[in-house]
Each structure stands twice: as C-alpha cells, then as structure tokens.
Amino acid sequence: MSTPVSAPHADETVPVRPSPLVQRVYGEPRFHTDADIAAVAFAADGTLYSIDEAGLLRHWAADGKQLARHFLSDLETLWCFGPGAKLLASGNDDLILWDVASGQLVGRVEQPADQQSWITALSFSPDGATVATGHDDGKVRFRDTATQAFLGEIAAHPRKGVSAIRYSRDGKFVATAGEDLVVRVWDADTHKLVAELKSHTDRVPALAWSPDSSLLISAGWDTSARVWRPPHPDPLMLLNSHADQVLVLAYSPDGKYLACADSDNDIHLWTDAETGKRAHVLRGHSDEIKSLTFSPDGTKLASAGCDRVVHVWDVRDGKLLAGPNPKGRHALAVVPGSPVRLASSGAPKVRVWDTDTGDEVAPTNLCPAFAVAASPDGQWLAVGGTDYFTQLWNARTNELAASLEATKPPVGFVTFSPDSKSLVHTSPADGLVWLWTCATAQPDVIIVEAADACTLEAVAVHPNNRWIACGGVDYMGTGERDGAVCLWDVPTKDKLWTIDTGVTALAFDPQGKYLVGAGLDDAVYVWDIGVPVEPGEEPPTVFVFGGHPANINAVCFDPSGSYLLSGCDDGTVRCWDVLSGRQLVARAFDSPVQGLAFSPDGRFLFLANGNTTCYQVEFKKFLEE
C-alpha cells in the first residue's frame, strides 16, 4: 500500500502570525533598505547616500555599514541628489529641498493655484545653485536653490509630459526629453532652443552629458541609448546591445565610462560611446535599476533600485565590491563549543559572533565568504569563497588549516559529514562535488555530474556518513524536468537513485529516515529513504508541504528530528510536525529568510536574512500559539 501524500499547496489554512520573537540581531543591514531605492549619490569623502521611495535618507560607509538615517517624507514620487550629495530635491505637485547631511528641510515651493501640474523630472545645475523641474504639462521651471526664487520657465514639450532633464557639465545647456519622444537642448541662461533631436521611437526616461559637455546620451525604451553631438540633429551612434528598454544612465567624471542600465537588470559599461566600444556587463541586480552614480574618482559605480540593495562596482575590472554576493544566498553556520558561535556569509567577508554575548569573535572578517559550514564536533569552520578556494579553519585555535581549491568559482555550497571527518564543497557551474579529509586536507572523492547534469544548488550528508544527496536545477529542461536530486554511495561511487524534482535546498533528518527538499514550485518535499528502492525507481514521497507564496531558500530539522522548518523569500518560517505532517505555525519576519540553523541543544533557531543580518529566536516561543 502506497504512502499517502498530503498536499496543502493552494489552500493552506494556518495563518501567518507576525513575530516579535527576535531575541538578538547579529550584524547590520549593509547596503540593504526596507523599500525600493529611488536615488543614490557619492559624497566627496567616498561615502554614499541613498533615498528610499518611502522617504528614508540613509548614509552609508564604503563597506555598506549604515552611518545614519533620517526620515524625510513619504509623499513624494521623485527624488534627485545635487552635486556632491549636498542637497536633495523631491517632488510631487510641490518642489521640496533638503539638506543631505542633516536631513533638514531647506525649502518648499508650492505650485501657484493657476499652474497646477505634477513634477515628472528633476535636475540640479553643476554648481548646485539652480534646480530644474519638469512637469506633466510639458513645462520646465527653474528655481534658485538658496532662495527658491523663480528664475524662468520653458515650454519644452507642449501638451506632453517631461520625462527627463539634465544640465551639461559646463552648465551652459539644459537637455530635456518629453513624452513626445523628442530630445531638445536649451541655452541654460537664455532658455533659447539650441537643438531638436528626433530619433527615438519609444519613451526617453534618462539623459546624460559627457564631462566635456560635447556629447549627450539619451536612454530609450526602444532598446538603445543614442549618442548625440548637439546641435547636430542626427545621432552619431546607437548603443543597441541592451535589452528591450534602457532605463538609467551615468557618465564617469573622467569620461572613461558610460553606464547604461536596462530592463534585464544589467549594467552595460561603454568606454567610447561615440564608436560604441563596450567594456564589462555588470550583473547582480534581481529587479529594476533606478539609479546609477559614479564615485568622484570615476573608479566605482553605485547602482540601486527595486531589489532594495545598493551595489558598488569596480568599473575597471567589472567586479562587485559591496552589496550582496551575485546570485548567492546568505548562509549561516552554528559552531558548537563553549561559547557557541554563529558564522555568517552575509557580509563580503565571513563574520563570527559569540551567541552568549553577541560580540564579534575570531575567526571573523578574514576572507571572502559565499558559503559557510561548521563541523558538528566544533573542530572546523569552512568558508566557501567567491574565488576558487574553501578556507578550512581550525575553530578551536582560530588558525587557517588549509585552502581547498575548487575548479570554478565561487564555492557555492559547503557542508561537513556528521562524524566531522569530511568536508564537502561544490561549484554550481561545473556540477562537481568534492570530498576532502579534514585532518589531511586531501581530496578523497570527486563526484562528476552529481545532480544528473543539473546545476548544484544543495548537498546534504546522511547520518551514516557514506550517502550524499545532491540536488539542483535543470535550466535546459532536458527530459521535461525542472531539476534532479541524486543519492550517492560515496565508498562505491554508485548512484543509488534519482528523483526528477528540482530543489534549492536539502536536509536529512537526524535519524536518517527522511530526506527533505525545497522544490522550485514553492513546495517542500519529504521522501522516505529508509524504504528499499528498485533500480530506476524513486523513493516514496511521504508529504508535499505547501503554503509558501514565493521561493523557498532553506529547510532544516531540529536536533530531535521532531520538527521540519522552511524559510522563504516572503520572510516567513513555517514549521511542520514530522510524524503527522501537520503544519504547526508560520511566523513572519521582516526580511527574506535565506538560511536556517539550530543551536546544538535545539533551544535557539537562527535565521540568515536577505538584508545580511542574522536573527536569534527561542524555538519554544516560536512554537507557542
């Protein structure tokens, strides 16, 4: 008789309850915000400012640590930093000016009763003395930033809204773009028309001038950025290797790079806009990019938008300097011992805390971290790097024991065998699983195509210390599947079975009876691996747990094996009773949950959050109704 399958996928009835259960927060939300980011800007000292669409102004250190924050207003729809991030303008139907350093209101300009129109674009002059506002009636109005005195207006795009404004770097010209798909250039002093540039076939959301003010770049929803030399009426070059829409532009102060963000959430760097010479393509954002800004020396680019994370790039080599690991999940590991320590990959380098005091302790902030794991006996801490290496630390002496090389970076996943003798690490790109002996730092076994030609997203070692489950995603859709989970017998290198189910996380229960996987269909699968399986067959599915409305990033059992937990992008952690399959509780937190781990005694549950922090929760209170 087959085992019944429970699938409360669409009609889950357990309510999500908000959770005030967080006892301690480890780390700080580096370069992460709680709302979409409308604008970013570098200050002269190399620090960064960002403004949320919800009106929260944040000041960041170069490494992403938040230095200060000020709530300004949540009524505005547009935000624009002035030169050097000294002033900030916001607009809806009124123009408001703010002092960036203090967050204080500088001035408010209310619309005259007979000139009511919505502000649709903002730009400061290079010296910051003038601010220009574009409106939905097609007019551009100019104000003195010190006195807010009216300096004049242009009927730039009659009966069509203004979609973008940009002053030239020398302050002589103002370029405007309208919903009439025309770009116009005006004399900044006389407000007389200098050039009319017609070529775009769809909306023009952004403009940028080269540092010498000779070239004007316009971004279009027609797949291209156009390069102009006003007053010449025709474009010199179409930079058309972008996605469907080009959204945001920025020119480096030294003129070496033009950055264009498109609707694929990629940033294209161009080293010569006039000839169309391209450099790096910067990938790492998971949602729309709304702002780009270069550092004063032109070597760094900051980008931000709807994924609520400020990314900082080195434009010379195209590398991410700060922000999240591209395509990486925040991993955490509990290091047994006295005191118990918590290790995290949320920051660019591994961070370790004493869970008794909350203080940061060794070995911390020493090497790049894409993944972390701790051995059950507390002897070892493994840090999977963004490079080719897993750094194996002796957690008792806080000394580096070995550097274990992978074939392709980054090291996507690390874990230890239950007996703490072996370390497993993977590279998602090559499909290989490496097993190392911790004492000798020598490789024992390499499993090729460990997840049956799928990417490697997760690995788990069975309590018997000889079976390894490997799971991943089949992006090519071979065999009409979304991925696979394979169970290997390490001593014989035999593949015991394959399940055609794509997963992002795996875990064995402490007794070794069940294997659980986080499916791509937002469901948690529980397989009974204690039942003998004939060749070519899959182990029986015991339960399919639904209820998550978004991607599931983590699954784990408590140390007793009585409870199964899952963490989701929607910020919830759900808990099921393993024997009955009944969902007990769903708790909501304020950030995507990307990792889960228990203290050795099962008293505390730790969460790795999408905003790079970690939470400590008392599990008994977590379960309470």
Rounded-to-integer distance, Cα 75 and Cα 401, Å:
55
Model confidence at 5, pLDDT cuts 50, 70, 90, reads very low
Burial of 512 (0-12, 13-18, 19+ CB in 10 A): middle
Query: Mean of the per-residue pLDDT values for the chain?
Result: 91
Mean pLDDT of 242-254: 94
Give the pair of three-digit tokens for residue 541.
């599915």
Length of the chain: 625
Residue 36's nearest CA partner among 301, 259, 285, 406 is 285
Where does 490-547 show beta strands of DSSP type E? 494-499, 503-508, 514-519, 524-528, 541-545
| pLDDT value, residue 347 | 81
Helices and strands, counts by H and E, the chain: 1, 56
Whether the per-residue pLDDT at 541 is higher than 70: the answer is: yes
| pLDDT value, residue 284 | 81
Tokens 């035999």 correspond to 494
What is the residue-wise DSSP string for 28-51?
Answer: --TTB-SS-EEEEEE-TTS-EEEE
| pLDDT value, residue 327 | 46
Task: State phi, psi for 334 to the nearest 5 degrees.
Answer: -95, 125
pLDDT, tens digit (0-9, with 9 covering 90-100), for 491-512: 999 999 999 999 999 999 999 9
pLDDT, tens digit (0-9, with 9 covering 90-100), for 385-433: 878 899 999 999 999 999 999 888 888 889 999 999 999 999 877 889 9
Residue 496's nearest CA partner among 560, 441, 525, 539 is 539
Give the pair of three-digit tokens for residue 257.
């790079």
**What is the percent of the chain where pLDDT is above 90?**
77
List all residues 6 or more positions away from 8 whose beta carbon is below 8 Å from its beta carbon. Answer: 545, 546, 547, 583
Rounded-to-integer distance, Cα 528 and Cα 579, Å:
12
Model confidence at 300, pLDDT cuts 50, 70, 90, reads very high
Model confidence at 211, pLDDT cuts 50, 70, 90, reads very high
Q: Are the CB atoms for 602 and 560 separated by under 8 Å?
A: yes
Burial of 477 (0-12, 13-18, 19+ CB in 10 A): exposed
Rounded-to-integer distance, Cα 96 and Cα 476, Å:
51
List all residues 6 or more positions away from 256 whose beta carbon is below 8 Å from its beta carbon. Answer: 271, 298, 315
Burial of 244 (0-12, 13-18, 19+ CB in 10 A): exposed
Q: Are the CB atoms for 565 and 572 separated by under 8 Å?
A: no
Q: Answer whether CATH 1.10.3720.10 is correct for domain 554-625.
A: no
Whether the per-residue pLDDT at 32 is higher than 80: the answer is: yes
What global pTM score does this model have?
0.71
Task: State phi, psi for 621 to the nearest 5 degrees.
Answer: -70, -30
Tokens 């977590």 correspond to 622
Model confidence at 260, pLDDT cuts 50, 70, 90, reads very high
| pLDDT value, residue 367 | 87
List all residues 6 or more positions away from 508 whose beta carbon is below 8 Å from its beta carbon. Answer: 460, 461, 462, 463, 469, 514, 515, 516, 557
Other CB atoms within 10 A of residue 480 CB: 7
Helix (H) or strand (E) holding 621: helix 619-623
Rounded-to-integer distance, Cα 622 and Cα 605, Å:
9
